[in-house]
Chains A and B, each alone.
Chain A
Amino acid sequence: EIVMTQSPATLSVSPGERATLSCRASQSVSSHLAWYQQKPGQAPRLLIYGASTRATGIPARFSGSGSGTEFTLTISNLQSEDFAVYYCQQYNKWPLPITFGQGTRLEIK
């Protein structure tokens, strides 16, 4: 099983600033990497797939990069609605099995 490790566990950033979240895979997943945002009491929402392609309706301030084992989600000009938990997910070996990172909580500084 491919293990996904996210860092940091918690990130404190001020509104208007930039947040950089990291995700590392235990082995190469090529570009088969997605990012999700989850707010309390809500289902996750797809932000990025294919490591760098924004999903439908996702603002341009969200960007993804990386390939292989190292990935980054960057959120520029943080808005109040961006403070949430973010998960990465690999699907390189889909369907056996899909795995998620443990999440990064983005909080207001």
Chain B
Amino acid sequence: QVQLVESGGGVVQPGRSLRLSCAASGFTFSSYGMHWVRQAPGKGLEWVAVIWFDGTKKYYADSVKGRFAISRDNSENTLFLQMNSLRAEDTAVYYCARGPGSIDYWGQGTLVTVSS
């Protein structure tokens, strides 16, 4: 069965960096576009970034453009999100999700807290 397992979340100070990972299994990872979607505490869903199945194209929400970088390793079935210059408003649960358009599988999420 399809599984997406995020890791790498935690507490980080403003301005610092964090790298999230998502281990995928149960499907042909290299055939699917993948997303990161986040949810601030008590708030709704916010799309963050998407990467093409082969990694050739990447797109970002305006709120993270220039600070976050999405990447993937198809040989390891793993999705990444490098988050730099973190701000308090980046505090959220970050979900790895399978695309490309509608999202049919979601990970359980990893919590990122940006606080001094």
Which residues of A are interface residues toward B (Cβ below 8 A)? 32, 34, 36, 38, 43-46, 49-50, 55-56, 87, 89, 91, 94-103
Which of B46, B100, B105 is close to A95, meaning CB atoms less than 8 Å apart?
A: B100
Which residues of B are interface residues toward A (Cβ below 8 A)? 33, 35, 44-47, 50, 57, 59, 61-62, 95, 99-109
Complex Cα gap A36–B105 (Å) = 11
Interface contact A96-B104, CB-CB below 8 Å: no
Interface contact B44-A102, CB-CB below 8 Å: yes
Complex Cα gap A41–B64 (Å) = 25
Residue of B with least CB distance to A34:
B102
By a CB distance below 8 angstroms, the chain B residues around A46 are 102-105
Complex Cα gap A32–B99 (Å) = 13
Residue of B with least CB distance to A96:
B59
By a CB distance below 8 angstroms, the chain A residues around B59 are 95-97
8 residue pairs bridging A and B, Cβ less than 8 Å apart: A34-B103, A43-B95, A49-B101, A95-B33, A95-B100, A100-B47, A101-B44, A103-B45
| Also in contact, A100 and B44, with CB within 8 A (given A43-B107, A43-B108, A95-B33) | yes
Interface contact A44-B61, CB-CB below 8 Å: no
Which of A38, A91, A101 is close to B101, meaning CB atoms less than 8 Å apart?
A: A91
Residue of B with least CB distance to A98:
B47
By a CB distance below 8 angstroms, the chain A residues around B35 are 98
| Also in contact, A98 and B44, with CB within 8 A (given A43-B95, A49-B102, A91-B102) | no
